[in-house]
């Protein structure tokens, strides 16, 4: 037969826990009310999924409310504060930034010539284009459907004489666009495929300056 003492102890614990919860609720009712309303407020201002809102990533939209990429990278604002120019930012967590640079130095020192060339190509391509490779087996389907193209397909020997910027190749099909592709893409251009979706995988490359980047061997 179960012990009545143990049963009473359990009941007391349940009673105390419930009583404490009720007391806390009475004391902090206004605060809890605000917390309960928070999800509803968020739902009312919910943003579209990134895949449906990526075209807001333009220099005219610089806030989380107007730019899907700024929202996605919002956490970086805890590490770095941008300045008026690309090289006048302020590190908010210097130890994290320092560790990132040192890691990049180690990886760069160990890479092969082929990897150096691949890093140069990725660095000089429009970032919205280079990240398409993260779609894995679906990447080429996306490029075709969105008519996304790039002019940076190889790395020069040595240091290039000037800045290399991505653009739409002269021989690209009409309607092609740099970066993520045409806006909006036509559904009629998307080829059908039963290829399973792959997990996103993005190559890690050393941070670079938005100005001229030396090529491998330079």
| Tokens 């409310």 found at | 65
Please give the residue range of the domain that contains residue 79. Answer: 49-110
pTM greater than 0.85: no
**Contacts of range 139-144, beta carbons closer than 8 Å, 24 or more positions apart:** 141/190, 141/191, 141/193, 141/195, 142/181, 143/181, 144/189, 144/190, 144/191
| Least confident stretch, 25-29, 100-104, 115-119, 193-197 | 25-29
Instruction: Indicate the SS3 state at residue 3.
Output: coil
Q: Are residues 77 and 125 in the same domain?
A: no
Token pair, residue 47, equals 């943003």
Q: Are residues 153 and 117 in the same domain?
A: yes
**Quick count: other Cβ atoms within 10 Å of Cβ 131?**
17
Confidence category of residue 203, pLDDT binned at 50, 70, 90: very low
Q: Are residues 174 and 132 in the same domain?
A: yes
Q: Where are the alpha helices (DSSP H) in 29-173?
A: 29-44, 50-53, 68-72, 94-110, 113-124, 127-130, 139-146
**Secondary structure element (H or E) that encloses residue 80, with its range:** strand 80-81
pLDDT > 90? residue 90: yes
Confidence category of residue 186, pLDDT binned at 50, 70, 90: low
Q: Which range has the top average pLDDT, 19-33, 127-141, 202-216?
A: 127-141
Domain count, the chain: 2
Q: Are residues 95 and 154 in the same domain?
A: no
Percentage of the chain surpassing pLDDT 70? 63
Select from 94, 110, 126 the last residue of a domain. Answer: 110
Q: Are residues 127 and 176 in the same domain?
A: yes
DSSP symbol at 171:
T
Q: Three-state SS string across 84-105, please?
A: CCCCCCEECCHHHHHHHHHHHH
Instruction: Name which residue leads in pLDDT, 65 or 197.
Output: 65
Q: What is the mean pLDDT of the chain?
A: 76
């Amino acid at each position: 037969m179960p012990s009545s003492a143990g049963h009473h102890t359990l009941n007391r614990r349940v009673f105390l826990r419930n009583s404490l919860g009720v007391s806390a609720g009475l004391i902090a009712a206004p605060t809890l009310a605000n917390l309960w309303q928070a999800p509803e407020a968020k739902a009312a201002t919910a943003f579209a999924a990134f895949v449906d809102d990526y075209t807001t990533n333009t220099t005219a939209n610089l806030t989380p409310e107007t730019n899907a990429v700024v929202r996605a990278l919002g956490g970086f604002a805890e590490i770095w504060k941008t300045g008026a120019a690309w090289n006048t930012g302020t590190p908010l967590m210097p130890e994290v930034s320092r560790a990132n640079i040192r890691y990049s130095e180690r990886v760069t020192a160990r890479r092969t010539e082929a990897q150096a060339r691949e890093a140069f190509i990725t660095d000089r391509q429009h970032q919205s284009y280079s990240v398409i490779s993260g779609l894995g087996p679906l990447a080429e389907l996306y490029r075709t459907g969105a008519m996304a193209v790039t002019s940076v397909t190889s790395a020069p020997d040595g240091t290039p004489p000037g800045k290399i910027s991505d653009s739409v190749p002269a021989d690209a099909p009409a309607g092609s666009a740099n970066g993520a592709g045409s806006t909006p893409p036509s559904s009629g251009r998307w080829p059908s495929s039963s290829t399973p979706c792959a997990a996103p995988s993005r190559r890690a490359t050393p941070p670079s300056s938005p100005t001229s980047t030396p090529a491998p061997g330079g």
